[in-house]
Amino acid sequence: MKKFLFTCGDVNGIGPEICIKALNTLSGKRNEKFVLAIPANVFRQIIKKVNADFPFKFVNKNSIENDDSFVSIIDIGKTKQKYGMPTKESGEAAFKAITIGVELAKQKNIDAIITAPLSKHSFELAGINFPGHTEFLADATGVKNYSMMFLSNKMKVALATIHIPIADVSKNISKEKLKKLFYLMNQTLIADFRIVKPKIAALGLNPHAGEEGRIGKEEKKKIIPAIKETIGINISGPFVPDAFFANKLFKNFDLTISMYHDQALIPFKMLSFSSGVNYTAGLPVVRTSPDHGTAFDIAGKCIADSSSIVSAYKWAALIIRNRMKNEK
């Protein structure tokens, strides 16, 4: 039986709501166990507005039962809820939920973690020194070479840099870092997505991909050498980003590697906002998440769309199946 743990995310956002809506859709699947880590008082408050159309039971985190007839609710402790705003308490709750998820995954008590959105501001207010799930999960599992990846049926993208200012992007890109990323993503496509001979595209950093050094030197000094020195991988580029997406060249590749956060996420979200999924590649733990944020502006209104977090479950289930096939 495969076990999927949902974390509540920031309790002042839409995380608890979309988790319950997703469980309404998913619970009752045979041979799959669902777990939700959330403050009990928040869960009870939400189900007054969003009916929980599934049987549930409050359990201790160390005693998740192998019974798929109900959803196990792990109470992570009472917390204050203030819809629509980041708070110290909501940051602490989000962090505790994901910490429990990692702990249970390390113990092999769950097979995948599906994380509802958190707030970086809430983390800061709580004194938590991580910019988001990705960096915390990498640290918690002792992984140095990892990547933020986004998945949809239309496009897969990976980021060379993640949550840093644009002014810092260039100095955080190096030939060696890119080579490590290229090898990681090639292996991820093979192992987690069963793509036998992946085709990977790398974007340029500068307008016109540097125009042979006339508009920036990063392509000539870093990106092109990294591509040339990466052995045994089918990787092309650097492509001019605007033309690459305008001409839909991404359709010719299994993965597009973007040099910075918004470079690929703008077109990705235009194509797949309600179904796109955030995946942390390179971890021993399978972790997926919706590709949207906390949506503080609609928190508590019960109008949030749970499509993306349902997609996060589906991708997690696929990756688990593929990893099991690799072990045979």
Facing residues of 128 across strands? none
- Supply the DSSP string of 105-172, one letter for each residue: HHTTS-SEEEEPP--HHHHHHTT---SSHHHHHHHHHT-SS-EEEEE-SS-EEEESS-SS-GGGTGGG
Residues 198-224: pLDDT tens digits? Answer: 999 999 999 898 788 888 889 999 999
Residues 252-285: pLDDT tens digits? Answer: 999 999 999 999 999 999 998 778 899 999 999 9
Q: Looking at the predicted structure, is the pLDDT value of residue 129 above 90? A: no
Cβ–Cβ under 8 Å, residues 10 and 90: yes
d(CA 272, CA 312): 13
d(CA 191, CA 173): 26
**Which of the pair, 272 or 309, is modelled with greater confidence?**
309
Do the two domains 1-142+281-328 and 154-274 of this chain adopt the same fold? yes
In this prediction, residue 328 has a pLDDT band, given cuts at 50, 70 and 90, of: low
**What percent of the chain has a predicted confidence (pLDDT) above 70?**
100
Which phi and psi angles does 56 have, rounded to 5°? -140, 160
Cβ–Cβ under 8 Å, residues 41 and 11: no
Mean pLDDT in the chain? 93
Hey, where are the domains in the chain? 1-142+281-328, 154-274
Q: Does domain 1-142+281-328 have CATH number 3.40.718.10?
A: yes
CATH class of residue range 154-274: alpha beta
* Residue 28 pLDDT: 76
* Residue 27 pLDDT: 84
Q: Looking at the predicted structure, is the pLDDT value of residue 79 above 90? A: yes
* Residue 291 pLDDT: 86
